[in-house]
A and B are shown apart, each in its own frame.
Chain A
Amino acid sequence: MSEVVSRDTPLAGQPPAEIFRPRPPRAAPASTLGVQGWVRQNMFSSIPNALVTVLGIWIVYAFFDTILTWAVGNAVWEAANRRECLDKVGRSGACWPGVIAWIPNLIYGLYPKDQVWRINLAGLVLVLWALPLWLPRVQSKALIGLSLVLLFPLLVSYFFLGGEKGVIWSALIALGLAGFLWALLTAATETVSGLSFSRFAVAALGAGGGSDAARRNGQLAALLALYVVAFIAVQALSLSFVPTRVWGGLFLTLVISGIGIAFSLPAGIVLALGRRSRMPLISLLCTVFIELFRSVPLITILFMFNTMLPLFLPVGVEVNQLLRAIVAVCLFASAYMAEVIRGGLQAIPRGQYEAASAMGLGFWQATGLVIMPQALKIMIPTIVGNFIGLFKDTTLVSIIGLFDLLSMSRAVAEDTRWLGLFLEPFFFITMIYFVVCFTMSQYSLNLEQRLSAGERR
């Protein structure tokens, strides 16, 4: 076949061709290999480089030596108040008892001590709900992830807030609980049998032999039964009311940033698509929203929502202060996220959309199945960077009187027993922020590596 279309036919009458034999590859010079080679090449390749290396090592050593001497070496671990600490070591060592005494408040704010289990339980639910996402044999990962994002807030809103629940709220809480139970059961049945919960239930009850319609009805019945169980359980559950005013510490920080993160990604996607839309009105509205919120500092937006929003609302209608802060953070974060996503969309060649379109896919299918997965993938570092920024930006809510992690740490210094203890609580929450943010960034790296399988040769 190939000689028919071959474009270059060798000329006749040439002398017989010599045979080309490629040379075998040789090993790289030994001085460039191994740890020794690496150190020599990267740290001591010239006299100035060697000096910089030595200086750098000395700076790192001096820094950590000072910090560790203060935080560990000279630190006081047991004392009744700050006076005792100062009498023992003066200012040369950290006074940890103050921080230790305040740890419950740093984590839970002023949440009633006997109710703190509700927050812990919510944390446990979160872990259990997310766990199937990492189990290899679970197939419905997308559905479980979606149920987590959409239904988890419904369930834990009651855990956190408690109090009177009307019929509608009860129904929503039950939906959350049913979602949780469904995720656990599906993870279990898929690990055991490869069938999702509803299919498994139908098969186990022997209804699997019927028609497709009968099977579908059976699956619906199984899900409905689950919901009824959840509803009854919710009715039986009664938790005391905890006003948001006493929420605080790491708990509050996680609530605000968690909602902000979960909201900003989908909202950012919608805004980015809107801004690129060919419909002028939609594009204009999205652009105005994005540019408006991006051009104003978060702190200004928080103030606006906190002090000016009530002026626009009818007399008597009061929006919870925490809710106002959360809405402000969500809108701000969405505007930023929209521009990140738009950057990702911009990077996808037009040909990708054309190829999808030539196959007969409509706009939404092409966007959802071809363009968006690629755009989100290349923007993972920036998206997670935004999440990390958002998590840290929540410290600004302390300005409008919410007791997040940062404000709680400052409260320690106002405790009469630990008067003036600023540095140690700051050091402690710095560690918390570092651990959370570093975990996020490492996870993003890990995600990037797993998803870039297609680019590795």
Chain B
Amino acid sequence: MTDAVSGELPVELVGVNKWFGAFHALKDIDLRVREGERIVVCGPSGSGKSTMIRCINQLERHQEGTIRIHGRAYGRDLRENDAIRREIGMVFQSVNLFPHLTVLENCTFALTWVRQMPKQEAEDLAMEFLARVRIPEQARKYPLQLSGGQQQRVAIARALCVRPKIMLFDEPTSSLDPEMINEVLDTMVELAESGITMLVVTHEMGFARKVADRVIFMDQGEIVEEAPPEIFFASPRFDRTRLFLSQVL
């Protein structure tokens, strides 16, 4: 808390607790993410890693503690919460493209309806990001006409269109066929090199080694261990982390 720039941290969680009914899903989570930092969150299923990510853009509401995005804390004011979460882009495991809209319309959707950008301008911007994920030629197709990997790349472009300052990835490759995982990971690596703040929940340890500034291991709703990848993979402190790594590597 003595950090002078603490108010300007992109993401800051202080003493966050979350229950689903009686189940204690997040226990006293403290997390401080610096500008441009790339964090990989891993852990067994049910460890609370997705819940934590989803709390950061308030898809799940936490019951105790404070979550601040660039110094602004989520509270009771829903409009303020909506304004805060507009700085955050999210990519889901289940992709969640809108099947009734074309790829291009998916990308311009938030620009048109949330930012009220004129149609032509929004389309130009969307095409720019579709080019960045290398599928501009699919712009007029519908999501279900694309492969799983292409869909997830469109989802990344869609999230980037509103120029978020923070990107959240919730197991973006877990629902994909093995042959399509790399094209999505490559896109994410490129994104990481652009300097955006990223929080990625994933089991892709190769990705963590390559791009993460910090790896966080969670179990039973707690952050067990956090360390830079070289230390995390070489000499994990806890037996629980070692057991997990022995299973996924």
Contacts and interface: CB of A to CB of B under 8 A. Distances in A.
A285 B162 CA distance: 40
Interface in B60-90: 78, 82-83, 85-86, 88-90
A350 to B, nearest CB: 9
B99 A455 contact: yes
A349 B100 contact: no
A362 B145 CA distance: 28
Contact of B92 (A7, A355, A370, A455): A355
Nearest to A4: B210
Nearest to B143: A454
A280 interface: no
A369 interface: yes
Given A5-B185, A6-B182, A453-B142, A358 B98 contact: no
A358 B181 contact: no
Contact of A7 (B162, B189, B204): B204
Contacts of A361: 110, 113-114
B177 interface: no
A456 B145 CA distance: 7
Given A359-B162, A454-B145, A354 B182 contact: no
Interface residues of B, number: 40
A358 B207 contact: no
Contact of B98 (A4, A5, A370): A370
A269 B210 CA distance: 50
Contacts of B189: 1, 4-5
Nearest to A7: B206
A454 B144 contact: yes
Nearest to B186: A1
Contacts of B129: none
Contacts of A4: 189, 210
Contact of A373 (B57, B86, B100, B185): B100
B174 interface: no
B59 interface: yes
B217 interface: no
Interface in B182-236: 182-183, 185-186, 189-190, 204, 206-207, 210
Nearest to A451: B100
A98 to B, nearest CB: 52
Nearest to A1: B186
B207 to A, nearest CB: 6
A360 interface: yes
A374 interface: yes
Given A354-B96, A374-B99, A455-B142, A5 B114 contact: no
Contacts of B89: 358
Interface string A1-40: 1101111000000000000000000000000000000000
Contacts of A351: 92, 94-96
A455 B144 contact: yes
Contacts of A457: 144-145
A354 B92 contact: yes
Q: Which 4 A-B pairs have the closest CB atoms?
A: A454-B142, A355-B96, A360-B86, A351-B96
13 contacts: A1-B190, A2-B182, A2-B183, A2-B186, A4-B189, A5-B207, A358-B88, A361-B110, A361-B113, A362-B78, A362-B82, A369-B109, A455-B142
